Structure 1
């Protein structure tokens, strides 16, 4: 009987134990039977599952397979792995694994990201119309007017029409006070329940303590989510800056972007006005740099502005009509070719305010007329007419209205 010896598979290379005098393959940063620098297309990471790689071969179905031998390579000391048994000489087959596909990461600026919900807060010296405040979702924290022995919330307990009607017969000069830090904290806490951030813009720190109270209120709630800005402005100009912040937030900007844009814009928002008398500014302590005009023997009417948060004189003219004409000229000079955003404010002087609005209407992208509130009127006095304005190429608001469509309060 003829006995056939088993035929060895010439395609499978038998592994042998490395020479004992040979250093560890792992110490030389390469595996047995592998090149140190793989050929192009074969440089990807291979999974060995703790086995010795014997290379790739063709399977019967035509696919590539990888031959692996059980057991680990020698450890750094040159011996076997202390926790693994010796290789038993059997060979196992494993299909070559494909690298896992990388999942795309969502970009922070992608359209699918939800923008933060931002609440816009200001104080009652912004002198904005109530319907516009409601439509824009702006929150107003009122100042207090101390008038005829009563403490009245500005725009809540007393309206401009009532105040200017009673002012000529008042026995004492009205005074004002800023909201407390507790009022701001209560307002902020309520808004943070429904909003991610708050941008709070207020009257110039040099004219009122409102900004300081707002900062304290933010510290009492969450200063990381409440951003308080000193507008360095008042009244009509503060109202414009608040509307601009509302417009930016409505476009989906983050709170930091709103703060940055508003801070940049306040340098370009101007306030021009004239007063019938400087006495109210003097009594209220808000006369600022215009104190140089006091005591003048000339019967002049000042053209004033707000500079660095203070009332500052620009020019002196002989009549109030000339002062208003100069206010119009200064405002028109702000136009860069794309119109102006303008709010005309007045203290019981609707006729003069309408005249200014009619002359500015051809160059106005945004135009509103609104009376000054009791707190601002208590310091400016009756008869004041002025404008807050900036060039519409910075940020158009699209709120133009007929000059005759005035808001009576």
Structure 2
């Protein structure tokens, strides 16, 4: 009988239990219309307009049940309310003692928040905040010390505000990595809802952020938190982090994510040019690029990241030619199936858009993003560069420039 059907008329319930279970009155014949007395110790079984008999097959572990209008399900044989969870619609679910075959199976829904691996990076990845949220990437900000204030990168100060104030700054801005406790706090929050964490960070040779993240993992659970030195920065670090997020979203384990992105990082290329090397020199991040300082006023350098350090590639006469060379170098990375490309800039949006237009025909993934205040403090204004890798390694399917403007 359907539980939502019309209520039945009053009448006696025909007990169909085997005779051996019916007690001393099992030989008595029930006469229609005649009042029958129950056997000793047994309650009268009757249906009226307040209940519907659901049948003996409703639950294998609780006897037969009645659906009462006001009382829910009641065990007719035992005289107490049924034990076990009920759904919002009132349907009875078997108790915990039921066999797995009898228990209803809950449908598993795919949710980014329920992934077994969480992805973390730092603010030098320069990922747009909206894109990071969409891809469930947690960003731990570095600190910018600027004009007497300590500001969280991308939180307390945005790129557009920083580059507007930089020309009039009385002192050169400095930066510092997050404390281990900041990483430990984030890791603890994520481990409450994830099995493991993969944390991908700026090159250890350019910042103390990686070492701080390792200490944070040790304060939390070093076996469940995997910290990766990307040997990259900015656009390229953002690309590698997006690749890690893509792998985690597809269900890869933490070990598989670490192994895959560690193999990819040597194929992620970074090419850029700066209007001046002065900011790299001041910040102490110039590495072997110091060989170019003697001619900085006459030439524009084309730089790259090699072995985790800023390294000079070439020198050209004008900034326009330097950008052309950056475009050519990026195209050489293509292996015939397109590129995953991020174009970054420090207050040079028009130049960045020009580079993006040139690379769009070969780009499987293409984004334009401003360099954040921490990276901009060391690279200086006017920087334009690309981070890219062959799309056949791991396509990301992202093509947007609007998200980058939103971050600014």
Task: Normalising by structure 1, report the TM-score.
Answer: 0.71
CA distance, structure 1, for counterparts of residue 324 and residue 405 of structure 2 = 21
Distance across 2 between alignment mates of 1:297 and 1:371: 24
Query: Judging changes above 3 Å, is the alpha-carbon distance between structure 1 residues 297 and 143 closer, same or farther for their aligned structure 2 residues?
Result: closer
Q: Secondary structure at the match of 1:383?
A: coil
> What are the Cα deviations for residues 24-81 of structure 1, in whole angstroms up to 9, with x where unaligned?
xxxxxxxxxxxxxxxxxxxxxxxxxxxxxxxxxxxxxxxxxxxxxxxxxxxxxxxxxx
Which residue of structure 2 aligns with residue 163 of structure 1? 162
CA distance in structure 1 between the partners assigned to 2:406 and 2:333 by the alignment: 25
Secondary structure at 2:252 match in 1: coil
Matching of residue 208 in structure 1 with residue 220 in structure 2: no
Aligned position for 2:276: 277
Deviation at 1:407, TM superposition (A): 4.0
Shift of 1:404: 11
Instruction: Report if the CA contact (8 A) 1:273-1:385 is conserved.
Output: yes
Work out whether residues 367 and 403 of structure 1, in 8 Å CA contact, stay in contact via their aligned partners in 2: no
Query: Would you say the 8 A contact 1:354–1:404 is kept in 2?
Result: no
Relative distance call for 1:146 and 1:215 in structure 2 (3 A) is same
Q: Is the 8 A contact 1:278 1:294 kept in 2?
A: yes
| Cα distance in 2 between the residues matched to 1:171 and 1:147 | 9
> 1:267 maps to what in 2?
266
The answer for the alignment partner of 1:306 in structure 2 is 305
CA distance in 1, matches of 2:128, 2:187: 22
Distance in 1 between the 2:144 and 2:404 partners?
28
In structure 2, the partner of 1:130 is 129
The aligned counterpart of 1:189 is 188
Match in the other structure for 1:337: 336
- How far apart are the structure 2 equivalents of 1:169 and 1:298? 22
Match of 2:233? 234
Q: Is the 8 A contact 1:116 1:197 kept in 2?
A: no
Distance 1:295 1:351, change over 3 A: same
Corresponding residue of 2:53: none
**Which deviates the most, 143-152 or 287-296?**
287-296
Deviation at 1:351, TM superposition (A): 0.4
Contact 1:116 1:254 in 2 (8 A): no
Deviations 1:117-159 (A, max 9, x none): 1100000000011110110110000000000000000000000
Deviations 1:306-353 (Å, cap 9, x if unpaired)?
Answer: 000000000000000000000000000011111000000000000000
Aligned residues of 1:357 and 1:403 also touching (Cα < 8 A): no
Cα separation, partners in 2 of 1:212 and 1:186, compared to 1, 3 Å: same
Contact 2:337 2:391 in 1 (8 A): yes
Query: Aligned residues, how many?
Result: 297
CA distance in structure 2 between the partners assigned to 1:248 and 1:306 by the alignment: 24
- Whole-angstrom distance in 1 between the partners of 2:404 and 2:142: 27
The aligned residue for residue 248 of structure 2 is 249
- Cα distance between partner residues in 1 of 2:128 and 2:241: 12
Q: Distance in 1 between matches of 2:401 and 2:134?
A: 19
Distance (Å, rounded) in 2 between the aligned partners of 1:326 and 1:400: 23
- Per-residue deviation at 1:401? 2.9
Structure 1: gaps spanning 5 or more residues: 1-111
Residue 406 of structure 1 and its aligned partner are, at CA, apart by 4.3
Contact kept in structure 2, 1:116 and 1:255, CA below 8 Å: no
Alpha-carbon RMSD across the aligned residues, in angstroms, is: 1.7
2:351 aligned with 1:374, yes or no? no
Q: Is the 8 A contact 2:344 2:384 kept in 1?
A: yes
User: 2:318 is matched with which residue?
Assistant: 319
1:296: how far off? 2.3
- Separation of aligned partners in 1, 2:273 and 2:220: 40
Cα shift readout 1:215-242 (whole Å, capped 9, x = no counterpart): 0000001000000000000000000000
**Aligned partner of residue 400 in structure 2, secondary structure:** coil
Relative distance call for 1:392 and 1:192 in structure 2 (3 A) is: same
Give the distance between the partners of 2:161 and 2:401, measured in 1 at CA: 25
Matches within 5 A, 1:21-40: none
* CA distance 1:202–1:402, shift in 2 (3 Å): closer
Q: CA deviation at 1:408?
A: 5.1
Change (3 A) 1:138 1:321: same
Q: Which is higher, the Rg of structure 1 or of structure 2? A: 1
SS of the equivalent of 1:266 reads: helix
For 1:362, the equivalent position in structure 2 comes to: 361
Distance 1:370 1:238 in 2: 13
